[in-house]
Structure 1
Amino acid sequence: MDIVIAVLSLLIGVFISYYILNKKLLSLSEKNIQLKTTLEEKEKNYAEKLEFVDQLKTQVNSDFKTLASDILKNDRDKLKVDNSDLLTPLQTQLKSFRERIETITKEQIEERTSLKEQIKSLHEANIDTQQSAQNLTNALTYDNKLQGDWGEEILSSLLSSYGFKEGVEFDLQKQYKNEAGEKFKPDVILHLPEGKDVVIDSKVSLKDYVDYMADQSNEEALKKHITSIETQIKNISIKEYENLEGVRSLDFIFVFIPIEGALLLALQQKHSLFDDALKKNIMLVSPSMLSMSLKTVNFMWQTDKQNKNADEIARQAGKMYDKLAGFFNDLDKIESQLDKTKEGFSDARKKLQTGPGNLIGRAGKLKALGVKSNKEIGE
C-alpha cells in the first residue's frame, strides 16, 4: 500500500512537473515566437533605417556636392568681382600707359621721319646746288654780273628751302644807307628774332677756280683764286655793313661761296684764310656750312614763335581769370541783393499775414464784426 501511494505520489509529482514544465514550455514558446516576431520587426526596422541612412547619406553627399559647387561658384564669382575691382584700374592704367607709349612712339617716328626728310632735302639741295654750280660754272665764269646773280639765286634757294620768306625773314638786294648817306645793297639781310640781322654777301669771283680745276698744274690760277677771296674779304670789311641804318647786324658777316670745292681748296692751300677773315668779323661759308647756320636760325625763329605763343596764352589766361573773378564778384552782389530781397519779402509777409497785428488778421476781425465780402483771402 505504501508502495502504491509512493508510486501514485511519484506519478502525481511527475504529472504536476510535466504540467508545469509544459506550461512553461508553452509560455517560452510563445515568448520565443513573440521575440522572433519582435526580432523580425526590429530587423525590418533596422533594414528600413539602414536603407534610410543610405538614402540620407546619398542625399547628404548630393547636397554637399551641390553646396560645395555653389560655394565654389560663388567664390569664383566673388573672386571675379574682386579681381575685376583690382584689375580694372590696373587695366585702365595699362591701357593709358600703352596709349601714351604708342603716342610717344608715333611722335618719335614722325620726328625721325621729319628729320630724315630734312636731311634728305638738305642732301638733295646740296647735290643740286653743287651740280648746278658745276653745270653753270663755264657759262658764268667770264660774266661777273651773271655770276653774282647766280650766287644770289643759290643763296635765295637755300633760304627758301628752310621756310624763310623774302620780305619777312630775309630781304634780297634791299637798299640801305650809312651815316654818310652812301647807298649799299647787301645781297641778303637775314633777320633774327629780337631785331637782330645777319648780312650775307655772295659776290666772290670763281673764274680763277674754274681755270685751276681745268688745269690743276696752273699754280697761278690757284693763287689768283685765293687772292680773289682775300680781296672780297677786304672789300666787305671796308663797307662796314654793321653801320647801315635800319640794320642791326651781328658782329660778323657771312661771305657765301656757292661751290663747296672752291672754299675747301682755298682753305687747304692757305690755312690762315679762315682765321684772317674772322679777325675782320667775316665768316667764310659754303652751302653746307650755311645750311647748318640756317638750321640754327630756323630753330631760333620757331622758339621765338613758341615763346610768343606762350606769352599770348598767358595773357589770354590772365584776361580769362580776370573775367572769372569779375563774374564771381557779380554773383556775390546778386546773392547779396537776393538776400536783401528775401528779407524784404519776409518782412512784408509778416506785416501781411504772420506778424503781430498783420493785415489779414485785422481783416478777419472786421469780417467777424459783420463786414461782408464776396471772396475769402487765399482764393
Structure 2
Amino acid sequence: MLFALGLLCGLLIMGAILGWRILSLEKEKANLPAAYEALSEKAFAKTQEQFGALVDPVTKTLANLDEKVKELEKVRAEAYGALRQQIEGMVMDQRKLQAETAGLAQALRSPATRGQWGELQLMRCLEMAGLQENVHYKKQVSSANDEGGRNRPDIVIFMPGNKQIVIDAKAPMDAYLDLLQENLSAADQKMILERHARAVRETIKSLGQKSYWAQLESPEFVIMFMPGESYFSAALQADASLIEYGVEQKVIPASPTTLISLCKAVSFGWQQDKMAQNSREIAENANALYKAVVTLTGHFEGMGKSLGKAVEQYNSFIGSLERTFLPKARRFKELGVAGGEKEIDMLPQLENNAGTPAAAELTQQEQKKIA
C-alpha cells in the first residue's frame, strides 16, 4: 500500500515536472521565431556589410568604366561623323574627277586640242629643267628637207659646240582614251592596248622619216615627246619591241620624266661650258694683266735709271760749282767788295740710291718667257 502510494506520488511529481518543462519548451518555442528573426537580421546586416565592402570597389570600377565607355562612344560618334563627311567628300570629288576626266578625254580627242596640250606639257618640262627660250632652245625652227618641203619641229635645243637636239611632241591617244571607259572586259582592254601600240608604232615611223638630223646640226635621232607617263608604258604592254623599233627609226620616245632628265643634262652641259668659258676669260685677263705689270715695271726701271743719272749730273754740277765758282764768289765778301749778312752756304750733294729693283731680274726673265 505504501509502495503504491509512493509510486503515485512519484508519478504526480514527475508529471508536474514534465508539465512545467513542456510549458517552458512551448514558451521557448513561441520565442524562437523572434530570436531567429533577430539573429537572421543581424547576420544579414553583417553579411551585407561585408558584401558591400567587397563589391564597392567593383562598383566604382564599373562606374568609371561606364564613364569611359560613354566618352569613347562620344569620340566614336564624332569620328564617325567626320569620317562620313570625308567619305562623302571623297565620293563627290571622285564623281567630279570622273566628270572632268570624261570631259578631258572628250576634249583630247580633238587633234588640235591634243597638239596644244602636248606642246604645253613640253614647255612645262623645259621650264622645270631650267632651260630658257631663245637662250637654250627655240620653237618651230623651219628647215628645208630633201624633198623640197619644210620641216618644222616643235623644239630645237641648243647644245655646247653648236650642236642641237630636236624634239617633237606627239600624242597618239585615240585608242588610249578608250581605256577610260567603264565596264571594259579584259579582252576589250587587250584589244584597245594593241590598237594603241599600233598607233604609237605608226607615229614613230612617220617621225623617223622626217630626218631632222639631215638639215640641222643634230645627232641622228629625234626625241618623240609623249605628254603622259602612262601613254608609252601602256603601248609597251601590248608591244614590247617599240623601244627597239624606235632606235631603228632613230626616234627616242620620251615621257615627261625622261625629257626633264635629258634637259637637266643639257642644262648642266651649258653650266660646264659657261664655267670653261669663264676660266678661259680669266686666264686671258690674267695673261694681259701680267704683261701690263711687266711693262709697268720696265717703265719704273727706266725711270729709276734716269733718276740715277740725274742725281749723278746734279752732284757733278755741285762739285764743279764748289770747286771753281763759289770760292771766288766768297772771296769777294772777304775783300769787302760785296756785302751782306748771309753767307753763301755749301750746296748739299744727293745720295744716289736709285737703282734696279730687287725683282728686276725676275721681271726680265718673265718678260723673256712671255716674249
TM-score by length of structure 2 reads 0.61
**Correspondence for 1:259:** 228
Give the Cα–Cα distance (whole angstroms) in 1 for the partners of residues 187 and 221 of structure 2: 35
Give the Cα–Cα distance (whole angstroms) in 2 for the partners of residues 331 and 188 of structure 1: 59
Percent identical: 28
Q: Which runs of 5+ in 1 are unaligned?
A: 1-130
The alpha carbon displacement at 1:187 in A equals: 0.8
Q: Conserved in 2, the CA contact under 8 Å of 1:211 and 1:221?
A: yes
Aligned pair partner of 2:196 in 225, 244, 257? 225
Q: Conserved in 1, the CA contact under 8 Å of 2:139 and 2:153?
A: yes
Give the Cα–Cα distance (whole angstroms) in 2 for the partners of residues 156 and 339 of structure 1: 73
**Correspondence for 2:120:** 153
Aligned pair partner of 1:364 in 330, 336, 340? 330
Residues 1:180 and 1:333: Cα distance change in structure 2 (over 3 Å): farther
Residues 1:142 and 1:338: Cα distance change in structure 2 (over 3 Å): same
Task: Give the residue type in structure 2 aligned to 1:315.
Answer: E
Residues 1:342 and 1:180: Cα distance change in structure 2 (over 3 Å): farther
Give the Cα–Cα distance (whole angstroms) in 1 for the partners of residues 324 and 104 of structure 2: 111
Q: Which runs of 5+ in 2 are unaligned?
A: 1-97, 347-371
Give the Cα–Cα distance (whole angstroms) in 2 for the partners of residues 324 and 277 of structure 1: 60
**Correspondence for 1:86:** none
Give the Cα–Cα distance (whole angstroms) in 2 for the partners of residues 188 and 172 of structure 1: 5
Give the count of matched residue pairs. Answer: 243
Residue 297 (structure 2) pairs with residue 331 (structure 1): no
Residue 111 (structure 2) pairs with residue 144 (structure 1): yes
Give the Cα–Cα distance (whole angstroms) in 2 for the partners of residues 239 and 316 of structure 1: 46
Residue 222 (structure 2) pairs with residue 276 (structure 1): no
Residues 1:187 and 1:134: Cα distance change in structure 2 (over 3 Å): farther
Residue 208 (structure 2) pairs with residue 242 (structure 1): no
**Correspondence for 1:311:** 280
The alpha carbon displacement at 1:285 in A equals: 0.9
SS in 2 for 1:217: helix
Q: Conserved in 1, the CA contact under 8 Å of 2:131 and 2:263?
A: no
Q: Conserved in 2, the CA contact under 8 Å of 1:193 and 1:301?
A: yes
**Correspondence for 2:176:** 209
The alpha carbon displacement at 1:368 in A equals: 4.4
Residues 1:376 and 1:135: Cα distance change in structure 2 (over 3 Å): farther
The alpha carbon displacement at 1:134 in A equals: 6.0
Q: Conserved in 2, the CA contact under 8 Å of 1:193 and 1:300?
A: yes
Task: Give the residue type in structure 2 aligned to 1:243.
Answer: A
Task: Give the residue type in structure 2 aligned to 1:310.
Answer: S
Give the Cα–Cα distance (whole angstroms) in 2 for the partners of residues 351 and 306 of structure 1: 67
User: Structure 1, residues 91-141: CA drift from partner, whole Å, max 9, x if none?
Assistant: xxxxxxxxxxxxxxxxxxxxxxxxxxxxxxxxxxxxxxxx9x968741443
Aligned pair partner of 2:133 in 160, 166, 173? 166
SS in 2 for 1:239: coil
Give the Cα–Cα distance (whole angstroms) in 2 for the partners of residues 134 and 238 of structure 1: 34
Residues 1:190 and 1:200: Cα distance change in structure 2 (over 3 Å): same
- Taking only aligned residues, the RMSD between alpha carbons, in angstroms, comes to 2.4
Give the Cα–Cα distance (whole angstroms) in 2 for the partners of residues 324 and 336 of structure 1: 18
The alpha carbon displacement at 1:148 in A equals: 0.9
The structure that is helix-richer by fraction is 1
TM-score by length of structure 1 reads 0.59
Residues 1:347 and 1:249: Cα distance change in structure 2 (over 3 Å): same
Task: Give the residue type in structure 1 aligned to 2:126.
Answer: L
SS in 1 for 2:165: strand
Give the Cα–Cα distance (whole angstroms) in 2 for the partners of residues 301 and 139 of structure 1: 41
Give the Cα–Cα distance (whole angstroms) in 2 for the partners of residues 267 and 171 of structure 1: 31
**Correspondence for 2:255:** 286
